[in-house]
Amino acid sequence: MIQKCRVCGKEYEGRANKHYCSPKCRKSAEVSLRRAPKKNATNKKHQTPTTAISGIPISFVCPDYLDCDASDYWNKVAPLLIKRGHLNHLSEDAFVELCDIHSRLRGINRAINETNRSLLQIDDKWDNKTGVETQSFKESALSDIKRKYSKLFLDYQKQFYLTPLPNRGNFGIQEDEKDPLDEFIKGQNGK
């Protein structure tokens, strides 16, 4: 079957599921998917079509299966990540997972606040040998889930550069400058 290569446009003979004339063209197509879109591309053939709302590429629309909290987070953060080049086809699924974790964490916080439950539980233990009952405190199930989701949420945010430390360059603070907040934090830790 004679086909046209998707990268260089050269005609080649191959199977129907083979889309590139050589491994070099295949590799360049994979690398182009990892890069952020060019801001002022002169070739309109390779530009991604955009919607009328805030220039978000059509392929990066909020998935329908996300709930209200997750889709609100998507709409709030996705344009910034696309602008910076951190959200692309390869990281889209991870960002959907970040939005879902945000929604679940908000639900856990609502459950804790609405029920006014304590984050500690009394753990009663009975010792059969001595016949004595002891009581101690342990972490409640909601607290355990909240702690795990919070850690996971922060780990995902770090991957997308959404935490304060990776954002230093974005706020005009150079690496060699001293941030007044650093001195405050050092003073609080006693170092």
Q: Residue 149: enclosing H or E segment and its boundaries?
A: helix 141-159
> E-assigned strands of the chain?
2-4, 11-13, 120-127, 132-139
DSSP state of 88: -
Q: What is each CA distance from 40 to 28, 29, 36, 43, 81, in whole angstroms? A: 20, 20, 12, 9, 18
- How far is it, in rounded angstroms, from Cα 60 to Cα 87? 9
Q: Which residue has the higher pLDDT, 143 or 94?
A: 94
Q: Which residue has the higher pLDDT, 113 or 184?
A: 113
Q: Which residue has the higher pLDDT, 54 or 159?
A: 159
Q: How confident is the model at residue 140 (pLDDT cuts 50, 70, 90)?
A: confident
- What digits encode the pLDDT tens for the residues 46-102? 444 444 345 554 467 888 888 899 999 999 999 888 888 888 888 888 999 999 999
Q: What is the mean pLDDT of residues 172-191?
A: 57
DSSP state of 162: -
- How far is it, in rounded angstroms, from Cα 17 to Cα 142? 49
Closest to 145 (Cα-Cα) out of 179, 109, 186: 109
